[in-house]
Chain A
């Protein structure tokens, strides 16, 4: 009993610390949004701005730019904790490492996933998506962005010791994003033609539960590997 309460305490303290750091640093949560809006501005310019065409391909535009936006804040995710030694302190502390990694994932989502969830429906409306598709879009974003955060956190942990730059992170992350993209855009296009999107949403929910329950453990193994090789 006392163990579990202290885990919760540490978990919450970690979330509080990371949120504070993230909010203060500002570019961690601001950059993905700016990037997302930029990319979505380019599509109408490239496509000629016909409203019918835009409405049809809006789910694809929104989802592809959301995937790309998650790459923006990726490189700095563990970098500071890794370089100033606080990650080692978390590792050798009395509570299990996965408590920290779970808190890290939650924070990563709050800082770089949640802003995307909030802004995408707004952009979708500007593209002229039907109002009854919006709840589906919001639900798909809520289910899918945590999965994206899990995958990107893993990639970020594995590349801590690697030489930075180039397409390395995108090359690792984007193929793993494919299922999320398929199911999320599938749900949206089904909703757009009036078919029930439940199947695709259930699949997204399955991915969500699987990712959230497995990633803290896999992530702590990956971070331990990077720490031991540093």
Chain B
């Protein structure tokens, strides 16, 4: 067991080197792409064809298979930015800064996707695209604003690395605030309007409905990891374009 942790530690430190990451990650892309595609195909078939339609919402509920994974990912991505940002700030690890930077726009897109699919789902079920009175909608919107804040801060620096550091710092402050924001908004909702619509309460799901959802969540995680790796590789190409190893590697590949 001790050996295992030792190996993980060594791998972690090795991954801190752009060169090692670039070479190693080239072996991950194909398996990850196939796994992601497979899971999405099975999940979509399961969600759209196999799962029975909801007794109240009919077929409309099937958007859950995009909406919920996107919502989960938008929060996980924020966590990743804060953790990677913390590593980048404390140990000045180059790779961590690249990961934090790459995850920002991805996380923001998932947050946007959550809001859009939520609105599409809301129209037929609650009769409106948007409810200003609902706590969940508010906290998702605020999460999108937090993302916009860190991206705007990152973009307003002339020195790119300084921008990443400042926005990572902001992401960490935001991470402390996310639970506070979430619970304050819940509290605000319960104060001003009693829950007339039980839209946030999940009914106990049937197994046939649940397994495609779980598959889709895993598939979204794989998709996120794949996109993250591709973006980080792009950043390595940009940042290390003058380094010898990269030139040699690209010459080998004939590019």
Contacts and interface: CB of A to CB of B under 8 A. Distances in A.
A154 B166 CA distance: 11
A182 B186 CA distance: 10
For the side of the interface on A, what is the size category?
20 to 34
A174 B142 CA distance: 10
Nearest to A178: B181
B126 interface: no
B152 A229 contact: no
Contact of A159 (B146, B156, B159, B165): B156
Contacts of A155: 170
24 contacts: A155-B170, A158-B166, A159-B153, A161-B159, A161-B162, A161-B166, A162-B156, A162-B166, A168-B152, A168-B156, A172-B149, A174-B145, A175-B177, A176-B181, A178-B184, A178-B185, A179-B180, A182-B184, A183-B187, A186-B187, A203-B184, A226-B166, A229-B165, A229-B166
Interface in A161-185: 161-163, 166-168, 171-172, 174-176, 178-179, 182-183
A179 B156 contact: no
A182 B187 contact: yes
B188 interface: yes
Interface residues of B, number: 29
Contacts, number: 82
A178 B142 contact: yes
A143 interface: no
A155 B149 CA distance: 10
A190 B149 CA distance: 32
- Interface centre among B157, B163, B184, by most chain A C-beta atoms within 10 angstroms, is B184
Interface of A: 154-155, 158-159, 161-163, 166-168, 171-172, 174-176, 178-179, 182-183, 186, 189-190, 203, 207, 218, 221-222, 225-226, 229
Contacts of B188: 182, 186
Contacts of A163: 156-158
